[in-house]
Structure 1
Amino acid sequence: MLKILRYVFAVITFLLASYGFFTKDFTFGEYMIFFMSLTMLVMGVESFKKGERGMGSFLIAVFLFSLYVSIEGFLLG
């Protein structure tokens, strides 16, 4: 289940990033960062399940920072 979520979130992130890259329209940047943060969260949970506490902690920290950045983008953008 986590693997499927990771792939779904990563594909959504890739599609939003590609849209912004090719059209030079960055109105969906906050959504891209939000889905990237969800990808990092799923990867962090997977790392914790494998017993890799260091990588899991790092990925959860990246998730929290990316989530904060996307929320700031939603509120200020």
Structure 2
Amino acid sequence: MLLKILQLVSSIIVISLSAYGLITRDYQLNFLMIFFLGLFMLILGIKEFQRERSIYGWLLIAVCLFALFVSIQNFIYL
């Protein structure tokens, strides 16, 4: 239940930041969008591990780590 709530909250944050960037053409908050997208992928990876689909779980964890790395890099060089 908690994972479902976190998944919903992170997806709403990602969609709202994406919409803000598209409407205003201000892309300074992209690092936050990528960060929350990484958290969303982490939640999906945990859910896949719970469903005993470990290959997809590891793939989503790897995508999560890459997204968090890109987000941190964008924040540092902002």
Residue deviations 1:12-36, cap 9 Å, x none?
Answer: 0000000000110001100000000
Partner of 2:28: 27
Deviation at 1:55, TM superposition (A): 0.6
Q: What's the % identity of the aligned pairs?
A: 42
Using the alignment, how far apart are the partners of 2:22 and 2:59 within structure 1?
28
- Any stretches of 5+ residues in structure 1 without a counterpart? none
Using the alignment, how far apart are the partners of 2:27 and 2:70 within structure 1?
15
State yes or no: 1:46 paired with 2:47: yes
TM-score (normalised: structure 2):
0.97
Give me the CA root mean square deviation. Answer: 0.4
Residue deviations 1:10-62, cap 9 Å, x none?
Answer: 10000000000011000110000000000000000000011000110100000
Aligned length: 77
